[in-house]
Amino acid sequence: MGDHVEISITDDEDGNIGDDVSSWSSDQVACWLRRKGYPEYADAAVNSVYPINGHRLLSLTRNDLLNSPFHMNDQTEADHLNNSIETLRKSQLTKYMKKIELNNGDTHHHHINDTTPFISGEDNIGNGGNNSSEQFPVEKLKTFVAVLYMMFGFVVSVVTLQFVHDRVPTMTEDPPLPDIFFDIVPRRIEGAFSYCESIGMVLTSFTILVAIFHKHRFIIMRRIFFILGTLYLYRSITIYVTTLPVPGLHFKCAPKANGHISLMLTRAASLLFGGGLSVTGSHHLCGDYLFSGHTIILVITYMTIHEYTPKRWWFLHWLCWVMSATGIVCILLAHDHYTIDVVVAYLLTTRLFWSYHTLCNVGVLKEYANSNLLSRAWWFPIFRYFEENVASTGCLPRQFEWPLPWPRRFRNNIAPGRRSPIKGV
């Protein structure tokens, strides 16, 4: 290489950096920042008192990004850029090590790949995406196991309801329990529960779209399937151990099965395939009050959308929050659940969601330790199975892509190793 050779930013066939990054000029650093989706910081790299050249870029730390000349205020954005810089350092180290091997005439060619363990990163430039797939592996088999786990939770909940239904006291024997919300709104609003279920279906559709178009869709699916399966197992316990009377005199409970297994299995299959929704005509059983399954869906769909979409999508976040809150209020306005059913559902769903994602985001919490009290949870081994190969570099990158291999022009318009220009992605 000569004393002065213009270095362009190129990628090799594996998606690795093909240039000597330490020799980049500040203009080339600015070009790299634009390609990674940080155009607002490109000018700062060139026009600062001490321009950011390639050598300075490789030496930047996360704290440097929060100070001059970048002054990044978004913590997630700083994490993502820091990971990208670490990827550059790793790529350069790999390149230099290979050069050393060649210069030393090493015929064994010890395999040094892009997964140098002591340097982490987010993605490589271009369409290689190898490092991303190693940090956030697809692992379809584990996703399938998560589906089976969720279905197991659903089946246990539905079967448990068959026995609980036969234990529900009649309305003449045990009228509805006193409830503060029913005292405030004594008159039931017809159709409110149908509105709740309609809102739930819309939020579920939004969540499915987010998961499908997210770059790390299989990781998201595993997490949500596990949380749903666990919550419905919890629900099977609570509805069985304490049977509450119906919360309203408007209920028309199906006749009791009185131990007829064939009838109970038929009802269970109808409830399962009907999604447990009243609008599908599949739910005529009583007793599944503590806690509310509809509240689970309303809360977890909002939390998933908020967690895995960019902060700049604040309008979607607020819309989904309003829809979720409205759906929960509609449950109470319909007098189809006691207030305690909704409160317990909210508390359990949010705490399990936050606990699970905290374990995902903090690497040290993935290990058994006396100081890690979360490792004492009964589901911690299942969590480790699902998340053991997923990098704990903070929140899952909020990146989206076309999920199908066709039409190719849709996929070609998206660089998997490139940060979206939307802040927070």
237-291 residue pLDDT tens: 999 999 999 998 888 888 888 888 889 988 888 888 887 777 776 678 898 998 9
Residue 18 has pLDDT above 60, yes or no: no
48-69 residue pLDDT tens: 777 888 888 888 888 888 888 8
CA distance 399 to 85: 18
Cβ neighbours of 103 (radius 10 Å): 8
Q: For 400, which DSSP code?
A: B
Q: Report the pLDDT value the prediction gives residue 412, as an integer from 0 to 100.
A: 53
Residue 303 has pLDDT above 90, yes or no: yes
Residue 281 Ramachandran class (φ > 0 left, ψ -120 to 50 alpha, else beta): left
> What is the pLDDT of the chain when averaged over all its residues?
82
Residue 108 has pLDDT above 80, yes or no: no
Q: Report the pLDDT value the prediction gives residue 9, as an integer from 0 to 100.
A: 53
Q: For 249, which DSSP code?
A: T
Residue 16 has pLDDT above 50, yes or no: no
Q: Report the pLDDT value the prediction gives residue 115, as an integer from 0 to 100.
A: 36
Which residues pair with residue 362 across a beta bridge?
393
Give me the percent of the chain exceeding a pLDDT of 70: 82
Q: Which two tokens stand for residue 276?
A: 């447990």
312-356 residue pLDDT tens: 999 999 999 999 999 999 999 999 999 999 999 999 999 999 999
Give the residue with greater pLDDT, 79 vs 422. 79
Instruction: Find the range with the poorest average confidence among 22-36, 100-114, 155-169, 390-404.
Output: 100-114
Q: In 269-397, which ranges are E strands?
A: none
Instruction: Find the range with the poorest average confidence among 2-11, 171-180, 338-347, 404-413.
Output: 2-11
357-369 residue pLDDT tens: 999 998 889 989 8
Note the pTM of the prediction, 2 decimals.
0.69
Return the H-helix or E-strand segment holding 210.
helix 192-213
Give the residue with greater pLDDT, 309 vs 22. 309
Q: CB–CB of 301/324 below 8 Å?
A: yes
Q: For 223-229, what is the mean pLDDT?
A: 97
**Range list for CATH 1.10.150 in the chain:** 21-135
**What architecture is the 21-135 domain classified under in CATH?**
Orthogonal Bundle (1.10)
Q: Report the pLDDT value the prediction gives residue 416, as an integer from 0 to 100.
A: 41
CA distance 235 to 348: 10
Give the residue with greater pLDDT, 112 vs 253. 253
Q: Report the pLDDT value the prediction gives residue 99, as an integer from 0 to 100.
A: 67
Positions marked catalytic: 294, 337, 341
Q: For 156-183, what is the mean pLDDT?
A: 91
Residue 37 has pLDDT above 60, yes or no: yes
Q: Which two tokens stand for residue 196?
A: 């709740």
Q: Report the pLDDT value the prediction gives residue 111, as an integer from 0 to 100.
A: 42
Residue 122 has pLDDT above 80, yes or no: no
Q: How many residues does the chain have?
A: 425
